[in-house]
Structure 1
Amino acid sequence: MKLSPAVLLAGALVGVVATAGVAVAVDGRAGVATAQTAAADLPPSAVEDFQYPQSEAEAAFKARGVKLKSGDGHIVYIACSTEPDPGRIEVYSNSEPNKPFCFRVTGAGGSLVLELPRVYAVRSNDYKVHVDMTVEEAKVSFDVAKNEWAGVGKTLDPQKRDHALVALSASK
């Protein structure tokens, strides 16, 4: 069977366009092809918005007043327990003195954007922790070494102003 140059060209076009992810239909005339995008046949793309799962964020706010906003999923809010947990970060706030807010780090590190008022101390375990806070209109940051309990915010402020925790990040 001998193929005409027009049919060979149409076949080559089909191969090139199909490789590019576009569906091709030959309209019945030798060598004439029409391209149709396959986008309508594809499911919508999953784009991560890094928002904290709404039901969990609402539960945390209702239970303790902490606003969980967004993160990479590697720092999660948890109920505090007396069991040892090398991935736990404890945050102390004058909103509930002597009752920490607990977070667990999974993996090599993570980040979490939140809003927790009146924070004065952070306890780390197997992770170095970096906290970003706001006081009035200023942003301040503190680092907490592995396995340390450190005063932050109001504890270190010469004016003893309340500081809000706005971001946590942790790394091994």
Structure 2
Amino acid sequence: MSRLLVGGAVVVAATLGATALASADGVPADNSAAPVAVEDFNYPGPAPYPNVKLLRGDGHIVLSDCAVDSQISVLSFDLPNAGGNQICFRATSTTGYLALEVPNVFRIRTDAYSLNAKLTSVDGAQSVDIAKGTAVPVGIGSGSGNGKPAALLELRVTG
């Protein structure tokens, strides 16, 4: 009798094991339509003006409505609008990064955070530090008499 029980147990185990192996041998589901879970740092969405490009960022500097929340404002002669030739951003952290292209910038203002801005003009690349709660004239707005049109290429929240 014990041989019969052991033999039956072996047959049951072999059958269950074969069934489990057969079900594990199937083709995996196609997940190619699933969203990517890796940050690609591309800016989500178009800029509000055709001559402005929002390129890449870490998500900590976002476009905002100047009438509602303008922690960071960039003034440009190429942004004629009711808000005063400006495009505005909001920082969501004490660090942040945004690569963009805004032509003919003449002033950058920040309220809540310190910034570093990278610009370019015919005179070359320029890096400007902007303290929290201040505005800095850049490009033509620099007032030195030698101010050249400058394009804003990058904003970084530094604290």
TM, length-normalised to structure 2? 0.70
Q: CA RMSD in A?
A: 3.5
Q: How far apart, in 2, do the equivalents of 1:144 and 1:107 lie? A: 16
How many residues of Structure 1 are paired with residues of Structure 2 in the alignment? 145
Query: Structure 1 residue 52 and structure 2 residue 33: aligned?
Result: no
Instruction: Identify the match of residue 111 of structure 2 among 108, 115, 125.
Output: 125
Q: How far apart, in 2, do the equivalents of 1:143 and 1:37 lie? A: 56
Q: Stretches of 4+ moved more than 4 A in 1? A: 34-45
- The structure with the largest alpha-carbon Rg is 2
Instruction: Identify the match of residue 75 of structure 2 among 78, 92, 111.
Output: 92
Higher relative contact order (CA closer than 8 Å, sequence separation 6+)? 2
Instruction: Identify the match of residue 168 of structure 1 among 145, 148, 155.
Output: 155
How much has 1:110 moved relative to structure 2?
A: 1.1
Partner deviation per Cα, 1:7-35 (whole Å, 9 max, x = no partner): xxxxxxxxxxxxxxxxxx758xxxxxx99
Amino-acid identity (%) = 33
Query: Which residue number in structure 2 is paired with residue 22 of structure 1?
Result: none
Q: Which runs of 5+ in 1 are unaligned?
A: 3-24, 28-33
Moved more, 37-46 or 116-125: 37-46
Q: How far apart, in 2, do the equivalents of 1:132 and 1:26 lie? A: 60
Secondary structure of the structure 1 residue equivalent to 2:41: coil
How much has 1:51 moved relative to structure 2?
A: 0.9
TM, length-normalised to structure 1? 0.65
Cα pair 2:119 2:151 within 8 Å, conserved: yes
Q: Which runs of 5+ in 2 are unaligned?
A: 7-19
